[in-house]
Amino acid sequence: MDKTLTHSQIRHAVQDAYDECKNMTGGKNADYIPFLANIDPDLFGISVVLTDGTTFDVGDTGYKFGIESVSKVLTAILVMKQFGAEAVLKQIGADATGLPFNSIFAILLENDHPSTPLVNAGAIAACSMVEPKGDSWGKWEAIINNIADLCGSEAQVLDELYRSETETNFNNRAIAWLLKNYNRIYDDADMSLDLYTRQCSVGITASQLAICAGTIANGGINPVTKVNVFDRKLASKITTLIAAVGFYQNTGDWMYTSGIPAKSGVGGGVLGVYPGVMGVAAFAPPLDEAGNSVKAQAAVKAIMKKLDIGVFNGDSIAVVAD
Ligand code: GLU
């Protein structure tokens, strides 16, 4: 079916979703990373970026929170740019684990590859792949510049978050060395782990994440800066990865109930991609048991419901200004 959405319909859907979810309770801040436990749990923002660059922001969309696992999407794009989608499939994989984001059990079960760049194991492997090999500073430049390109503006590490994560990332250290044991780390293991920890500690706003989501939805062209950030063919690959594992062991439930591929992070961020239509980001710190933001999930679902859209609905959607 052909469906037309107007800018004001979308603006109202975003505002209504915000009003509806603002006073929701439930969930709690991630506490295994001390810095995250102390973030104001009432922060809440939603941002939508259409493929024509039109933006709708409501709430705390300028607040810099920890990007955490949403960074996995951005660095997966970088390694796809550097090596191609096929190499990422071969060296990391594209399968959901069905297990928590930091599962060691998942590596033992599938020791021939870390399964997907969107869980901790695959994300650490992705950091190990980043060129230039063996050059920690050069690799970091590539990672942070790619984040700036995708988000349309620069982002910096939140130093206190980085320290907090580095002091407590014992599980991830085990993952990095277990991958090394299976020849699935493609550079120095400690350096790869450090790059992963650093990218998780980047401070990002909901507005920046929505621009990144909009860039993926727009086939690699940043809808705001108009810069061609990555090859159009990679957009469907990255969206497939997000759809397969974006909410870890809850991904099936998420896709079934929301209708939009999305990736979460324990900082409280969610990035959703509606190919050809829009990118959406929502942020609120309290998380459910699987590590996904309670309010951000509710907000994205509410927008989808209000607009009556879903990527599997079979509708061809046109967005028009009014
Ligand atoms: N830095 C976090 C970790 O590695 C990210 C987890 C997440 O956001 O899901 O545990």
For ligand 1, the distance from its centroid to the CA atom of residue 298, given in whole angstroms, is: 21
Residue 13 has pLDDT above 90, yes or no: yes
Nearest-CA residue for atom 4 of ligand 1: 120
- Which region among 33-37, 45-49, 301-305 has the lowest average model confidence (pLDDT)? 33-37
Residues having CB within 6 Å of any atom of ligand 1: 68-69, 101-102, 120, 165, 172, 200, 265-266, 291
Q: Are strands 316-320 and 2-6 parallel, antiparallel or unpaired?
A: parallel
In this prediction, residue 102 has a pLDDT band, given cuts at 50, 70 and 90, of confident
Distance CA 52, CA 218 (A): 8
What are the helix (H) ranges across the chain? 7-21, 34-37, 71-83, 85-91, 105-109, 120-129, 136-151, 159-168, 170-181, 189-200, 206-217, 232-245, 251-258, 294-307
- Residue 160 pLDDT level (bands cut at 50, 70, 90): very high
**Atom of ligand 1 at shortest distance to CA of 197?**
1
CA 98 to centroid of chain Cα atoms: 18
> Quick one: pLDDT at residue 1?
84
| Residue 31 clears pLDDT 80, i.e. is over it | yes
Q: How far apart are CA 166 and CA 38, in angstroms?
A: 17
- pLDDT at residue 106 is higher than 90: no
pLDDT in tens, 241-270: 999 999 988 999 999 999 999 999 999 999
Residue count of the chain? 322
- Atom of ligand 1 minimally distant from the CA of 291: 9
State the pLDDT confidence band at 6, using cuts at 50, 70 and 90: very high
Q: How far is it, in rounded angstroms, from Cα 307 to Cα 5? A: 8
Report the separation in Å between the CA atom of 102 and the middle of ligand 1, taken as the mean of its atom positions. 7
- How many separate helices (H) and strands (E) can be counted in the chain? 14, 9
Section 147-156 average pLDDT: 98
Type of residue numbered 49 = V
Is pTM beyond 0.85 here? yes
Which atom number of ligand 1 is nearest to the Cα of residue 266?
8
Report pLDDT for 103: 86
The residue whose CA is least distant from atom 10 of ligand 1 is 102
Using most ligand atoms within 8 A of CB, pick from 102, 104, 249 the residue to mutate for ligand 1.
102
